[in-house]
Amino acid sequence: MTKLSVNINKVATLRNARGGNNPDVLRVAADCERFGAQGITVHPRPDERHIRYQDVRDLRPRVVTEFNIEGNPIDKFTALVLEVRPHQVTLVPDGHDQLTSNHGWDTVENRTFLTDIVGRFKEAGIRTSIFVDADQRMVQAASECGADRVELYTEPYAANYARNRDEAIRPFVDAAIAAREAGLGLNAGHDLSLENLAFFHQTIPWTDEVSIGHAIICDALYLGLQETIRRYLDCLK
């Protein structure tokens, strides 16, 4: 079964726009779980423009499904993850001023660094995933870094889905097969939506987890959060 992890960063963005605590990210996380989501994802950035480091600390004892923290493993982020000890950490090569994630790691070029940081997290009992492009070489090198999983960066799939979905998903199938053959678990995320998620899942059914945030929050404005999560879960049946 492919799990749905809801990224609640956009909820924090809305809260931060006015100050105060409305909407309440802790309540939204609990509601997502109550409505059927099997995980909660957060991506704290150094400028804390959406999820704040304190949010991560507050969420940890309240998340009853799976807690996934993603981000660039700078010293501050690494210390937070080792303090909080989520179920999973996803390593993402974000720049400090990056609007959103737009590429995966070069796991060949950064092998020494990634091997060291993966080892530190695994020693702490934290499952570690590396965010990569749909490139078999990068997937194999992630395995050599000691990662437990890779997360495929799916924006290129989403961007090309309407034009030719079979062509769009082909490199992702190849990368997913490479992950399976390397003994890696498989996650996916970025721009997955109600339009393209079902086909992705039908084609790569051994995906362990999808992490979706922006599309879920946008859909919830029209459908409501409970109905939105139900529809995303239906895509994963």
As annotated, the active-site residues are: 43, 70, 190
Tokens of 164: 């030719």
Q: Which residues of 187-197 are buried (b: 16+ CB within 10 A; e: fewer)?
A: bbbbbbbbebb
Helix (H, G, I), strand (E, B), or coil: what is residue 27?
helix
Q: Determine which helix (DSSP H) or strand (DSSP E) holds 79, and give its type and residue range.
A: helix 75-84
Closest by alpha carbon to 44, among 82, 18, 12, 14?
12
* Cα separation, 169 vs 82, whole angstroms: 35
Residue whose tokens read 């999808």: 210
- Non-local (6+) Cβ contacts of 134 within 8 A are 152, 153, 154, 156, 157, 171, 172, 174, 175
**Cα dist from 24 to 20, 29, 50, 99, 159, whole Å:** 9, 9, 12, 23, 32
